[in-house]
Structure 1
Amino acid sequence: MNLPWKMTVVVRVGEQARVEVLPVDTAKADCRILLDGVRVVAQGTSPAPGELAVCAVTTSSTPGKWSR
């Protein structure tokens, strides 16, 4: 797989967006969830090489309304 890796999905209001990245044994990984491809609403980093990086956020239940 080529890096950096990117995927675009649509998440409905009030639902959870979650990304899990498992790097190879000697590497660490970072992940981010962006709102409209611009604003970071969740991010995570592997705590140690070879361990899972997790990003998760529950979307606002009101379309267009996110806390700052």
Structure 2
Amino acid sequence: DISLTQSDWKSLEKIVIFLKRFARISTEMCISTYPIISLVYLMYNHLMDHAEKIMKDGKSSKSSVAAAKVV
């Protein structure tokens, strides 16, 4: 029997958000016959910033939960 915790569901929601953005950016890049390197660089940075924000938010949420458990 496999059951997911609330934390698991939140993690999956973040993964879905990231993958949707990744899919949108990938689609935009594939539309162009010849992607311009400046556009590739811009989209790469956008995706990396988004990933870092998600990871940072996840760490702050975990530390908040850990702090709440201590109290």
TM-score normalised according to structure 2 size: 0.24
> Which of the two has greater strand per residue?
1
